[in-house]
Amino acid sequence: KAGVTQTPRYLIKTRGQQVTLSCSPISGHRSVSWYQQTPGQGLQFLFEYFSETQRNKGNFPGRFSGRQFSNSRSEMNVSTLELGDSALYLCASSLTVDRTGYGYTFGSGTRLTVV
Amino acid sequence: AQSVTQLGSHVSVSEGALVLLRCNYSSSVPPYLFWYVQYPNQGLQLLLKYTTGATLVKGINGFEAEFKKSETSFHLTKPSAHMSDAAEYFCAVTPNSGNTPLVFGKGTRLSVIA
C-alpha cells in the first residue's frame, strides 16, 4: 500500500513569502501530524489533525497553520517566511490519535529553503 | 511532560563492532518508547517500540532495545554493525495514553567505519 506522500520534495522561497506544503496519509489513516526538523533543534512538533480537527498544537508562532480535509489529506501553511524557517518538514500519519500500536509512519519530507 | 536525552550526537563504530546508542527519558507517567532511523534525504522509519510486556524489544535489521524503568533508559543495541547501519537514530517518548504527540530526542548520527 502507498506510504505517506509529501509534496513538493524541495522548495526555495524568499523571505516574506508564504508557502503551502501538502501531505497525503496512508489510506485509512485519519491522523496527520507535522514536525519541523532542523540540525540545531531536532524534531519539533507543529500540530496534529484528526478528522479535520486540530487535536494538538506545538509551540510555534501563528505564522504556522494547518488544516485537514475530509479525505484526511493535510496542508500546512507558513506565512511571512523567515530565514529560520528553513528546515525539513515531516508529515506523519497514524490510524487514530492513539499511537500505542506503532507510533507514526513518516513521509520523506519537504525540504524548505528560505533565501 | 516528557523529554528525551540522547547521549552523543555522533557515534562511530567499526564494521562488525557492537552498536550502542543511548537514550534516557523523563516521563511523569508510564511511557511508551520508540526508536526511529533516518537515512539521508528520507523520513523516519520505525525500528522498534516498547509499549507493555517484555522489556527487551527486538526490532528490524537486528536492532534491539531494553526498557529499564529504574534507570529511565531505553538504549538501542546491535551486536555487529554493518555499513548499511550508517544513519541518524532518534529515540521518542509518549505517555502510555498514546494520544499525545511523540517527543523526540535530538538524534545520534551513527558512522560505521570499514
Q: What pLDDT, on the 0 to 100 scale, is given for residue A1?
A: 61
DSSP A1: -
- Smallest Cβ–Cβ distance between A103 and the set B43, B102, B106 belongs to B102
Contact indicator for A88, A37 with CB cutoff of 8 Å: yes
pLDDT digits (tens, 9 = 90+) for B17-43: 999 999 999 988 888 999 999 998 889
A46, A56 contact by CB (below 8 A) = no
Please determine, for residue A100, whether its predicted confidence score (pLDDT) is greater than 70.
no
**What's the gap between Cα A92 and its chain centre?**
7
Q: Residue A40: its pLDDT value, please?
A: 83
Of A101, A95, A11, A90, whose CA–CA distance to B90 is shortest? A90
Per run of 10 residues, the mean pLDDT along chain B (length 114 residues) is: 91 97 91 92 90 91 95 97 97 80 93 96
- Band the pLDDT of A99: cuts 50, 70, 90: low
Element (H, E) at A47: strand A42-50
Q: CA of B6: which chain A residue's CA is closest?
A: A42
Give me the pLDDT at residue A75, please.
98
Mean pLDDT of chain A: 92
Alpha-carbon distance A98 to B21, whole Å? 27
- Tell me whether residues A99 and B92 touch, CB distance under 8 A: no
Subunit contact B102:A104, Cβ cutoff 8 A = yes
> In the numeric block, which cell numbers belong to residue A62?
501563528
Residues 6+ apart with CB under 8 A from B23: B4, B5, B6, B7, B33, B35, B65, B73, B74, B75, B76, B91, B105
> Between chains, do B90 and A109 touch, taking CB under 8 Å as contact?
no
Give just the sign of the alpha carbon dihedral B85, B87, B91, B92. negative
The grid cell for B8 is: 552523543
Q: For A62, left (φ over 0), alpha (ψ -120 to 50), or beta?
A: alpha
Q: What is the pLDDT of residues A41-60, one digit of tens each?
A: 899 999 999 999 999 899 99
Give the count of beta carbons closer than 10 Å to the beta carbon of residue B91: 29
Q: How far is CA B34 from CA A6, A73, B113, in A?
A: 23, 25, 26
Q: Which chain A residues contact residue B104 at CB under 8 A?
A: 35, 42-43
* pLDDT greater than 90 at residue A94: no
